[in-house]
Amino acid sequence: MRIIRFDSLGGASGDMVLASLLDLGAGRAALDRCLRSLPVEDFRISAEAVVERGSRATRATVEVPDAPHPHRGLGDILAMIRNAGMPEPVKSLASAVFTRLAGAEAAVHGTTPDAVHFHEVGAMDAIVDVVGSCFCLADLRVDAVTVSHLPVGRGTVRGAHGVMPLPVPAVAELLRGHAVDQTDEPFELVTPTGAALLTTWRDRLPPPVPIPPMPIAGIGVGAGHRALKSRPNILRAVLMDDSSPGLTGSTEACVVLECNLDDTNPQWIASLTDRLLQGAALDVYTTPVQMKKQRPGVMLTVLCAPDRREDCKRLIFDETTTFGIREMPARRTVLARRHETVQTQYGPVRMKIGSIEGEDVTRSPEYEDCLALARRHGVAVRLVHDAAMRA
């Protein structure tokens, strides 16, 4: 498992998040290739080493020849991301960030996310900040994200909607429920893109609770562009990694989703299980339960990767009658695994072999192979299974 903790002294903006991940070692060449798939030409990202009040850091600058543009809506930006040639996890994370931003703006202005028109956040440099940061997070193979208290400034700032208090309304909405530290800095310390990136990652990639002791694998420090009065303008990303296989195998962050069902057609649950296992879920199972009014029911349990939980939740709501889903962060330990084919008197069977530190500890014939050979030869599946185990 690889966890990043973001610690902020000077706030958080899109370019500071991007800088901290580049400083941590995200691939620059791969980042450029990813961003070239966006409909933007001649953009340039510079990353320079700086010293911010005694702290070494990287400052990132995104330059995009984005002429005055019609204010982009959520649909415009999501289409831009959807049509780009970048990995699906990056598209999913970046889309979630802008969807969260639109939700915050809609709440502030009393409208719907689809009706929101982004101003500064809709400019191409902000889009590059968000997409680039999401790419760097994926490139660093991060499983979970935590975020420290975030500092906020005091006073007012002028934006597209006129004079606004600090933190600006959209940021206040995005940070609802997140701990903040009030400072005496008369500046906008946390920007909408910075708040949306960190809170989206925090919610979509939750760590296990409690977080186990883990070694620090790297530290990245991103610097902002403004000189603050009394503190360094930096955002630190600390990468913790315990993914090296040990005697207990490798571990990874997961999410457990559960709901109780007593009025759902069992055939629908079977269909849902198939759909979940086609890619969104790692495991799905049901448990008989006794529900209120003594009605028999089932508890549906789904195990998935943190970045697939929203997909799984949508499938569950679409396919069942439940009104709510419980979710809990979890960890799973997995063996290194490989496949080998063995020959039996019935035909070839693939064997799944699990190992720890190069030592094989368990093996199992693939059921579908055994079933196909059993049907072909008119014998029990058990006989094919036993023959594969002896081979």
Mean pLDDT in order along the chain per 10 residues (391 residues): 93 95 91 87 85 91 71 87 90 94 90 78 81 94 94 85 86 95 93 96 88 89 93 96 57 86 92 90 94 90 90 94 90 83 93 86 92 95 94 85
Give CA–CA dist 175/382, Å, rounded: 57
Do 327 and 371 share a domain, yes or no?
A: no
Given 241, 274, 291, which residue is the final one in a domain? Answer: 241
CA-wise closest residue to 204 among 82, 129, 94 = 94
Which H/E stretch holds residue 381? Answer: helix 381-390
Give CA–CA dist 75/44, Å, rounded: 25
Do 365 and 317 share a domain, yes or no?
A: no
Confidence at residue 339, expressed as pLDDT on a 0 to 100 scale: 85
Confidence at residue 112, expressed as pLDDT on a 0 to 100 scale: 87
Do 65 and 200 share a domain, yes or no?
A: yes
Given 211, 241, 271, which residue is the final one in a domain? Answer: 241
pTM: 0.65
Q: Which residue's structure tokens are 């630190």?
A: 236
Confidence at residue 323, expressed as pLDDT on a 0 to 100 scale: 94
Q: Are 4 and 20 in contact (CB under 8 A)?
A: no
Do 207 and 133 share a domain, yes or no?
A: yes
Q: Are 104 and 193 in contact (CB under 8 A)?
A: no
What's the domain range around 361?
A: 336-390
Confidence at residue 332, expressed as pLDDT on a 0 to 100 scale: 81
Do 317 and 341 share a domain, yes or no?
A: no
